[in-house]
Amino acid sequence: MAKEKIVVGMSGGVDSSVAALLLKRQGYDVIGVFMNNWEETTPNGACTAVEDWNDVRSVCDLIGIPYYSVNFAREYWDRVFSYFLSEYRAGRTPNPDVLCNREIKFKAFLDLAMELGADRMATGHFVRTDGEGHLLRGPDPNKDQSYFLYMVHADQLKKAMFPVGGMTKAEVRAIAEEAGLPVSRKKDSTGVCFIGERNFKKFLADFLPAQPGAMVTPEGAEVGRHDGLMYYTLGQRRGLGIGGCGDGRSWFVVGKDLSKNRLIVAQGEDHPLLYSTRCVCTDVTWVAEEPPRGEPFRAACKYRYRQQDQPVEALWEGDRLTLTALSPQRAVTPGQSAVLYDGEICIGGGIVERVLDAGQAPDA
């Protein structure tokens, strides 16, 4: 009987490396594929993806599996990065990782895996799934990545495997070290999906022209200048460059006035304009079963990654999802994802389009 063929998306990091190792040990026919999705060179002319590709090659050679590199740079630009730029241009704060998973890892890469004759694909995500295509949280709350995968549908999840999804990060590193993998102590990647760590302000300025303007209080008094609305996000404290007014309270971004190119700031981390209970989401995705339209239901919500679950009442009408939190939420940000859960199951979510009632008093 032929072995089941699994194509593993390998980034050069420890998680995907251990995923490939475990599948190999379990007797699958494993192929490693490195996705090169961002073409850029350093000032010295060295491709920034070379180190990761070399790590993939070293790991695959060690565990004894074939490996390939595939270039999805055009797909990444067209399906992810162009959206990323348009959102910043509109004054919002996008989360490209959720779109990257939908468009690249679970679309372009999944299609490639099937073309290679694979039975399933695998990644190093810290999530779990079941035979019905439900998306389940990873057991380690500090590493659970279901928030970033809520745009993936059940039919895609049925073709996916998450070999490290039920582990903690410490367990993954221990397996890598025991096996002698050269990436066992490699630092986790951070920053924009497939682009990585960099001076984000300078990076964004290379693609979007900055338009400096006034920094004003909610009452309209000018208190400083901003470098461009795209550089700021709701709730931001650092980098504003505004001195205190003698009372020791810090300044925070509480809003943006795009029509007048003004950044609205206020003092105090508990300023009412930072708090709201209701928001409207668009680009709504349901992982498996779609809830009935027009019928309110209760769920747990994360308005940002690693946030504690927040109880909400959700209403799915037309193509919009309205969320009403049972307590005021701080800095719910247009462009970010609001992701819903029913216990351990991630049921879906949407992109926050607008906040309906900023100015709620925070809980005492």
Give the Cα-Cα-Cα angle 247, 327, 334 (nearest 5 degrees): 80
Q: What is the C-alpha separation between 167 and 138, in angstroms, rounded?
A: 8
pLDDT, tens digit, for every residue of 279-332?
A: 999 999 999 999 999 999 999 999 999 999 999 999 999 899 999 999 999 999
SS3 per-residue string spanning the chain: CCCCEEEEEECCCHHHHHHHHHHHHCCCEEEEEEEECCCCECCCCCECCHHHHHHHHHHHHHHCCCEEEEECHHHHHHHHHHHHHHHHHCCCCCCHHHHHHHHHHHHHHHHHHHHCCCCEEECCCCEEECCCCCEEECCCCCCCCHHHHCCCCHHHHCCEECCCCCCCHHHHHHHHHHCCCCCCCCCCCCCECCCECCCHHHHHHCCCCCCCEEEECCCCCEEEEECCHHHCCCCCCCCCCCCCCCCCCCEEEEEEECCCCEEEEEECCCCHHHEEEEEEEEEEEECCCCCCCCCCEEEEEECCCCCCCEEEEEEEECCEEEEEEEEEEECCCCCCEEEEEECCEEEEEEEEEEECCCCCCCCC
**Domain 5-178 shares a fold with domain 272-355:** no
pLDDT, tens digit, for every residue of 151-210?
A: 999 999 999 999 999 999 999 999 999 999 999 988 887 555 545 555 677 878 888 888
Q: What is the mean pLDDT of the segment spanning 209-237?
A: 93
User: Quick one: pLDDT at residue 40?
Assistant: 61
Q: What pLDDT band is residue 24 in, cutting at 50, 70 and 90?
A: very high
Q: Which CATH number fits domain 210-267: 2.30.30.280, 2.60.40.3080, 3.30.565.10, 2.60.120.10?
A: 2.30.30.280
| Partners of 224 in the β-ladder | 215
Domain limits, the chain: 5-178, 210-267, 272-355
User: Quick one: pLDDT at residue 351?
Assistant: 97
Q: What is the mean pLDDT of the segment spanning 10-32?
A: 96
Specify whether the CB–CB gap between 13 and 187 falls below 8 A: no
Task: Write down the CATH superfamily of domain 272-355.
Answer: Translation factors (2.40.30.10)
Catalytic residues: 100, 193
Q: What is the C-alpha separation between 292 and 17, in angstroms, rounded?
A: 41
Task: Write down the CATH superfamily of domain 5-178.
Answer: HUPs (3.40.50.620)
Q: Who has greater pLDDT, 239 or 19? A: 19
Q: Who has greater pLDDT, 360 or 355? A: 355
pTM of the predicted model as reported, rounded to 2 decimal places: 0.91
Q: What is the mean pLDDT of the segment spanning 54-69?
A: 96
Q: What pLDDT band is residue 5 in, cutting at 50, 70 and 90?
A: very high
pLDDT, tens digit, for every residue of 110-123?
A: 999 999 999 999 99
